[in-house]
Structures are given as C-alpha cells and as structure tokens.
Amino acid sequence: MHAPTLSWRRCAISLLLFGSLCGTAVADELRVVSSGGFAAALKTLAPRFEQQTGHHLLLDWGPSMGDTAQAIPQRLARGEPVDVVVMVGNSLKKLLASGQLAADSATVLASSRIALAVKAGSPHPDISSLPALRQTLLDSKSLAYSDSASGVFLSTVLFERLGVAEAIKTRSRMIPAEPVGMVVARGEAQLGFQQLSELIPVHGIDIVGLLPEQAQLVTDYSAAAVQNSRHASLARQFIRFLASPQAAESIRQTGLSPTATTAQQGG
C-alpha cells in the first residue's frame, strides 16, 4: 500500500539529485592568461562576466614576450591548459602564425600608451617635448622599463633615436616579471617607464604623464582563444564580452582606449 508513495519519493529525490548535478556540469571554468597592460581591466570585468553567465574565470598573468616562465608564449609552448590569452597585438600575431591560437577568435580590445612615473612626492621632471624628455633622461640617476613591448621599444628604438642610449646605458635596466612601478615605489629607480594601464594600479608612485606623441608607442591589446581549448565556445563568448560596448567604460578607467567605443563613434 505504501509502495507507490515510496517509489514516487525515490523518483523525486533522483530528479532533484540529477538536476543538481546537471546544474553543476553547466558551469565551466575558463582559464585566462593576460599581460599586465590589460590586467586591471580584466580584474574589473571578470566578476561581471561570471555573474552574467554563471561560469568561473581563472585569471593568471604574464608578459606578452620574453623567456621568463610566466611569459605567455612560454606557457603555451610547455602545454599549459590555457583557454584565452590577452596580450600585445604583435606578439599575438606570432602565436596566430604558429597555429597556437584560433585565428577566427582574434579581437583587438584596446590601445595603450607609455607613461613616466616617479616615487610619490618626488619632483616631476619635464617630458612635455622631445628635447625635454631627452634632457630628463640625461639628468636621471637611474631608470627602469619593462621587459615587454614598451620596454623593448624604449631600449632599442627611442633611446637610440634621442641619442642617449650610450649615456644612460649603465644606469638603466629592464625589469622582468614585476611591474616597473613597484621598483620605482621602493626607490630602486628614479624614473619608471611602462604602459599607463600598468602604472595606474601601483601605490607609492606619481604618474608624471604620457610621453610626447613623437616618442610614443601605441600598443594594441588583443584577445584570442587557444587552439586546443576545451571550452572554445565559452572562450569566444568571453572575448565578445571584452570587446563589447558594455565593457568599454571599465577599460577606459584603467588608462586604456577601448576599441568598442572608437568603433561606435566612427559609425
């Protein structure tokens, strides 16, 4: 007499358990590795994407180039399980050419410019023109720059162009795997050059300003899905979110120029 009731209860419990397991299975974890220039924007936008989709993002950081273990190309070369990369456009193009990234997913997200920082409370040197920047470099006691795109440009192009490369060689250094602003904040370098978006989050420094336009390197930050990602559809969904107008203001607040807004204004 009680058998039908017991059977019904077992069926209901099974359905509840099955529904719970299905709900868990739907939520995926997407591993994203970003270079420092887009890190502040990503930290702001990631919780919004998680809330909207119910999926979880695992964020990690590394330079767009170089031989350090954290560098994005090195991570992919040793087969780390990465789903999405966000990095300097030129470096991303090399990974596309090698077949490590999905070409149809590559998307430009924002552009960035190089800025100068000094320790908080220190005098602000003049960088308002090329001659002023040149004199500031010659007068400096020590200077630091990153091991990514901006630092390579400074050390191999700009310093040569300004004719100061030899004069400042012994008092300048490239900083691997650490924000340049932190080196400046500790007083280990008088001047620090890096992407504005990478300097803004650092405490203990003053941002003097952007380098003159004639001394600038405008760097594009792009995203792409890794070719062997197990979450290819979700990876593309996340990239579309980063490139959308709803993400543009958060990106702008970190010192970057979002391409989504530019596209809207152009249309």
Beta-carbon count within 10 A of 54 CB: 11
b/e sequence 64-86, b meaning 16+ C-beta within 10 Å: bbbeeeebbbbbbeeeeebbbbb
Q: In angstroms, rounded to a whole number, what is the distance separating the alpha carbons of residues 219 and 196?
A: 11
Q: Can you tell me whether residue 190 is helix, strand or coil?
A: coil
- Alpha helices by DSSP H, listed for 27-129, are 39-53, 72-77, 89-97
Low-confidence ranges of the chain (pLDDT < 70): 1-26, 261-267
List pLDDT tens digits, range 122-161.
999 999 999 999 999 999 999 999 988 899 999 999 999 9
CA distance 172 to 156: 13
What is the reported pLDDT for 23?
A: 43
From the number of C-beta atoms within 10 Å of its C-beta (0-12, 13-18, 19+), residue 177 rates as middle
Residue ranges and CATH numbers for the domains of the chain are 29-111+220-266 (3.40.190.10), 114-215 (3.40.190.10)
DSSP alpha helix (H) spans, 1-87: 3-26, 39-53, 72-77
Q: What is the pLDDT of residue 7?
A: 52
pLDDT tens-place string over residues 197-234: 999 999 999 999 999 999 999 999 999 999 989 999 99
| pLDDT for 266 | 35
CA distance 126 to 124: 7
Question: What's the confidence (pLDDT) of residue 125?
Answer: 98
Distances (CA, A) of 58 to 46, 47, 82: 9, 11, 10
**What Å distances lie between residue 113 and 40, 196, 241, 256, CA to CA?**
15, 6, 23, 8
